[in-house]
Structure 1
């Protein structure tokens, strides 16, 4: 079952500013170095502008949540994360993402480590389309697995005995998403 994401509410001005960056870079590629030199494009600048434009267009469309028989599968631009239902805790949150400490922050595509400061959770791994109004998922940290660097997957224990890795997701219908997680074995707080 694929879950729809919350739609980002990016203003027209923000879109114009963001898309203005690759457009300005492409225009600058045709500015001659000395005033009397012929106009020859700077190919490196054109390539970088094209890559930035492709990233702005492609990244938000790659973020997907899918409920599988074994766990929640989250597809993003550079990989897939599978969160098992066993031991998972989930709850809706009114908190919002704070400072990005590592990751990507494009309109409609927020991934990586962010500060949180709400619901007793200090930092989360965001896999979201908007900055607030999402769902917190706590997945027990497996001590047998090799440790991953804390700047990629920060873990914040809820108790000394059971540390959790916290994720911030933004499904379009959080309550329906939580109901489906509960049916699949996750512990959902009301």
Structure 2
């Protein structure tokens, strides 16, 4: 039986959410602003291309966070993200509650509601983690093969209990 685990809602600051929409809006708006100093205006095809590029980028930013999901299956923890879905067998996992959160992004994606890739970690147990999260705080660590993954279910305690009930040991 598969059990979907709700992902924590995005809690990014307003300035960060607004900043993410600057690039698509700039592409759309600047494509149609006339340049009085130019000898000839941008061709209509160029303006349409930049507009479509901006709309596509905006759609991408809106869709990426919706791809993040955690599902408890009979055999393992299934994690879905924009770049694909994979399943970790329960026997390979360890879980750890933490009050710490993500630090600086070393590599990966950092959009409001969608953080994946390598991040520094603010807690004492790890220097860096692999994030597959919707927030930078309020998550837990799931270790697999010695690699810590930072996940953000809506209820981390219930998620940890569900993993423990499936035989996943809790790390101190």
Q: Structure 1 residues 165, 31: closer, same or farther in 2, change over 3 A?
A: same
Match for residue 78 of structure 1 among 83, 89, 96 = 83
Residue 51 of structure 2 corresponds to 46
1:38, distance to aligned residue in structure 2 (A): 7.6
Gaps of 5+ in 1: 141-163
Alignment of structure 1 residues 1-190 onto 2, 5 Å = 1-33=3-35, 34=38, 37=41, 40=44, 41-140=46-145, 164-189=146-171
SS of match in other structure, 1:181: helix
Please give the alpha-carbon distance, in whole angstroms, between the structure 1 residues aligned to 2:108 and 2:53: 20
Residue 159 of structure 1 corresponds to none
Which piece of structure 1 moves more, 68-77 or 6-15?
6-15
1:14, distance to aligned residue in structure 2 (A): 3.3
SS of match in other structure, 1:186: coil
More helix by share: 2
Deviations 1:110-134 (A, max 9, x none): 0011111424211111000000111
The count of corresponding residues between Structure 1 and Structure 2 is 167
TM-score, length-scaled by structure 1: 0.80
Q: Structure 1 residues 7, 77: closer, same or farther in 2, change over 3 A?
A: same
TM-score, length-scaled by structure 2: 0.88
Gaps of 5+ in 2: none
Q: Structure 1 residues 38, 24: closer, same or farther in 2, change over 3 A?
A: closer
